[in-house]
Amino acid sequence: MRELYIAVLLLFFMAGSIVAWLSRRFIGRGSREFFVGGYRVGGFISAMTYAATTYSAFMMVGLVGLTFTGGVAALGFELVYLAATVIILGVVGPTIWREARRRGWISPSEMLADLYGSNVVGIGVSLLYLFTLVPYTSAQLKGVGEIFSSIGLGYEYGVLFAFVATAFWILVAGLWSVAMTDAFQGIWMLGSSIAVTIWVVAFLLPSANIDYNTFIESLSGSSSGDLLSFTWSPQMFLGLTIPWIFFALTNPQVVQRLYIPRDERSYARTVKYFALYGFMYTIICVFLGMAFRSYVALRGGDAENILLKNRDLVTPYMLTLSHPLLAAVAYVGITAAAISTANSIVLTVSSSVVRDLYEKLVVKPNERASRIAAVSAILILLTLALASSMMRIGYIVELSVISSAGLLPLAPITIAGIVGSGRRPIKRGKLLYPVISILIGESILIYAVVIHGVSRALTAPLLFSLPSPVWIVLGSTLAIIPLIAERKV
């Protein structure tokens, strides 16, 4: 198994590196080319990089485990994200795409700074990205380290491999190499998950004599209750879904992906292909969690209790039962999901650092110096992520879990800014509203963390039985209502 994984991983890395190297022919000069591909990426590549950036190792590990333990509610959690995202990409996405090329936006923090005519907003948002997304990147590197560790290859080598692959595939041609390798990795992720599903349906379930009726019966009468009914608390469902339904507007790595399609037709293809990809991948991951729960429950033994205590072990345990080649391909698929998310985050956050911190603080920034700053920012961000992964800092994972909630206060100001982009400019005295909106949202999150701890900050009731994400959205929205009202006059 170990040798097979190394062989498949080397094949994956070599193929990805060839794809990255070939993408160099597309890149032109300047930071616009390096960070957003000169706004001329085709629909298929845009869709695949959007999908591979969005769907991290969480899908094949976290979502499978979440379904295994909590049942069908995990499907609602993931599908409401997809449904909300497609609607957001239809309603405000075209304006973001159009305004990005009209106003020359490169980073999402630059977009907010421009919409509100305030450098303070841009700097503040850049710092927020740094604080929330470096731990998230660390968690991706850590995920690859854990895969290496579970196969007996050494945790440190896994983290180092993820660091090298991420850095190399970014630095070869910026957005072009990231997008092309994301497309390659996205195909691998979906292909390997389909292969695992075929194995489960054709071999695993029949080996335990599980047909449709026994499958349904085993899930309905599971030790955790009826897994085909809604078993989560309303607070957990609200707390986990609300940060996700605004993900397309709050997470810079996906906001920046809206800038890159080369024309309207490519933008439309991006949304349609992403919707199809997301729908298939979600159904597959949820099905795998349910199928394996049914299999484990009907086979008996201690496995069910062990996996219920540590749901992240569900997929690795399931893969130990498959052919080693299939397991190796699936493990590389999970590795690809982690790397494709990490490289997009690092590229985007470094674009914010360069555009909203470096170029705003330096008196006369030039193209060459900005390029050096970009490479330095990428390497520094990745080194920070590498260091925290190597030190196995426990709270990195917890911080990455709440990073989506940390970015949630950006949703109201992004929607208000985009919707009001064609209206009258904001008066200077009102520029503090977006900053106050962010501060209120972050204060509510910090309060929830202090009261309930990091692990329950999103899902525990905070006020009137509602969890913190509801109050973050409400608080941040209320703070900018005067601004919205003034623009409507």
Partner 1 sequence: MRSMVLLGTAIICLFYIPMFKWFSELIVSTSRVGIILYWIGLTVISILIGVRILGKSLGGETK
Closer CB to partner 1, 79 or 321, in the complex:
79
- Sequence-distant (≥ 6) Cβ neighbours of residue 267 within 8 angstroms: 43, 46, 93, 94, 97, 258, 261
> Closest approach of Cβ 456 to partner 1, in Å?
18
**Could you give the string, one character per residue 231-250, with x where binding to partner 1 holds by CB under 8 A and - elsewhere?**
---x--xx--x---x-----
Instruction: State the Cα–Cα distance between residues 286 and 59, nearest whole angstrom.
Output: 9
115-134: which residues touch partner 1 (CB under 8 A)?
A: none
Largest CA-CA distance found in the chain, in angstroms, rounded = 72
Among 267, 273, 295, 358, binds partner 1 (CB under 8 A): 267
Query: Which among 458, 407, 363, 454 is positioned nearest to 126, based on CA atoms?
Result: 407
Other CB atoms within a 10 A radius of the CB of residue 239 amount to 25
Whether the CB-CB separation of 382 and 163 falls below 8 Å is answered with yes
Can residue 416 be called a binding residue for partner 1 (CB under 8 A)? no
Closer CB to partner 1, 69 or 350, in the complex:
69
Query: Which among 365, 330, 391 is positioned nearest to 141, based on CA atoms?
Result: 391
Can residue 226 be called a binding residue for partner 1 (CB under 8 A)? yes
Can residue 324 be called a binding residue for partner 1 (CB under 8 A)? no
Other CB atoms within a 10 A radius of the CB of residue 199 amount to 19
Q: Which token pair is 277?
A: 């990809």
Closer CB to partner 1, 93 or 409, in the complex:
93
Can residue 2 be called a binding residue for partner 1 (CB under 8 A)? no
Q: Which token pair is 451?
A: 């009261």
Can residue 365 be called a binding residue for partner 1 (CB under 8 A)? no
> Closest approach of Cβ 330 to partner 1, in Å?
24
> Closest approach of Cβ 75 to partner 1, in Å?
6
C-alpha to C-alpha distances, 326 to 5, 62, 333, nearest whole angstrom: 10, 20, 10
Can residue 76 be called a binding residue for partner 1 (CB under 8 A)? yes
Can residue 228 be called a binding residue for partner 1 (CB under 8 A)? yes
Can residue 360 be called a binding residue for partner 1 (CB under 8 A)? no
Can residue 408 be called a binding residue for partner 1 (CB under 8 A)? no
Instruction: State the Cα–Cα distance between residues 257 and 264, nearest whole angstrom.
Output: 14
Among 21, 168, 279, 317, binds partner 1 (CB under 8 A): 279
Q: Which residues pair with 41 in a beta bridge?
A: 261
Binding site for partner 1 (CB under 8 A): 72-73, 75-76, 79-80, 82-84, 86-87, 89-91, 93-95, 216, 220, 226, 228-230, 234, 237-238, 241, 245, 264-265, 267-268, 271-272, 275, 279, 283
